[in-house]
Amino acid sequence: MIYHFGLTGFPLVYSLSPTIHQAAFRSTGLAGDYKLFPLNSGESFERLLLLLRQGDLHGLNVTIPHKQTVSQFVDRLSPTAHMSGAVNTIFMNQDQMVGENTDVVGFLTDLHEKIGSNIENRNALILGAGGAARAVVVGLLSVGWKVSITARKAEQAQKLLTDLSPWAREGYLNAVEYQAERISDEIGNFGLLVNASSGGMYPKVFDDPLPSAVPIPEGLVLYDLVYNPIATALIQRFRRAGNAAHNGVGMLIEQGARSFELWTGVHVNRQAIWDAVEKQ
C-alpha cells in the first residue's frame, strides 16, 4: 500500500512536518508521501476532506489557524479532541471521519522527557489561548497541575477558561490579566511557564510574548512551543537569567509520530525523526 498524508493550515512554508513524516516512512519501511495543503480559510476544507473520505488521502494534520474550526467538518471527536476543543489529526475509522488531538500527549511526553519530576511547584502559567494552548491546558490538568491562562486577547482567554472549567477541579484553572503589573504580581507563584502563543515565531523572531517588565523568578522553567527559531527571544531571555528553557521541537516530533502511528498502526522510531529534524 502507498500512503498519502498531508498537512493543512496557513502558513505552511516553514513547516517541519514533511521532514518528520518522510523520516517516519524511511524508518518504518512503508511507502508514501506527505503533502502540504495551505488553506487560509475554511472554505476549501470540505473539498480537502472529500479526498480523505474517498480514500485519496489516508490521514491529515491540521495546524494554525484551523485547529478549532475543523471540528465542525468531522463526524466524531476523540475524547481528547472533544475536551480540548481542538483537532490536529484526522483519520477515517471505517466510514466515520475522526478528529484527534495528538498535541496533548505530544506535549506531556516531551515535557516529562525535559523536566521529569524535577519541578516541585506544579503551578503553570500559559501564554496564549488558541488551539495549542488548549492542548497544553488539558494535558497539564489531566496530570494534576494547577493552570493559569494569560493572553493578549482577553476574550479568547475567557472563552478558554469557560470551555475548560467543566474539566478542571475547583481552583485548578484560573486566568491572569495580560498586563505587566498583574503578571509580575503572580509570576512568583509558578514553577512552569509555557508559551503556547505564536510570539517569537519566524519571521517575527524579536517578538517576546511575556511583557519585558515582568521579572524572571529564580527556578521558573520555560517550555516554549515555538520551534522556529530554535532559541526564541523568550528562551534567550530565560537563559540569560540562568533559568532552564526548552523549545517545542520534541513536542512537534512526538505529536507527528503519534499521528503517523494512528494512520498506519506501525510504531515509529523517534530517534530517526530527531536525526532528520536536526539535519534539517
Catalytic sites, residue numbers: 67
| Strand ranges for 70-198 from DSSP E | 76-77, 89-93, 96-100, 123-127, 146-150, 173-175, 192-195
The residues, any chain, with a CB within 8 Å of residue 148's CB and separated by 6 or more, are 123, 124, 125, 126, 173, 174, 175, 176, 186, 190
For the beta sheet containing 59-62, the strands, ordered from the edge strand earlier in sequence to the opposite edge, are 31-38, 2-9, 59-62, 89-93, 96-100, 76-77
Distance CA 51, CA 57 (A): 5
Instruction: Give kind and range of the element (H or E) at residue 214.
Output: none
Angle CA 164–167–173, to nearest 5: 60
